[in-house]
Amino acid sequence: MNLYLDDLRSTPENFERVYDYDEFVNFINKNGVPEFISFDHDLGEGKTGFDCAKFLVEFCLDNGVSDINFQVHSQNPVGKENIEKLLGNFNRLKNQNH
């Protein structure tokens, strides 16, 4: 299963879509980490895609998940870089420890 986090763009084929932080958290808590996640950073008012990425890292650490397959499709360059660095660092550190 693939997950698409975005509040505005249309959902690509073969993706489940969530629009905001709360939907993201509920999806992950219910289904676990999907095979692939595409992140947007700006999700309207409130929490961002970076907040979702931070939640995901904590979820993975708590549940023994060692790899997050992702891309960031956000047009916000700073937000995009922050998500990429956080998740990329998580993947690197978890893979070094295995």
Q: Mind listing the pLDDT tens digit of every residue in the chain (98 residues)? A: 999 999 999 999 999 999 999 999 999 999 999 999 999 999 999 999 999 999 999 999 999 999 999 999 999 999 999 999 999 999 998 777 65
- Say if strands 2-5 and 70-72 run parallel, antiparallel, or are unpaired: unpaired
Domains of the chain in sequence order: 2-96 (3.40.50)
Q: Find out whether 82 and 49 touch, Cβ atoms under 8 Å.
A: no
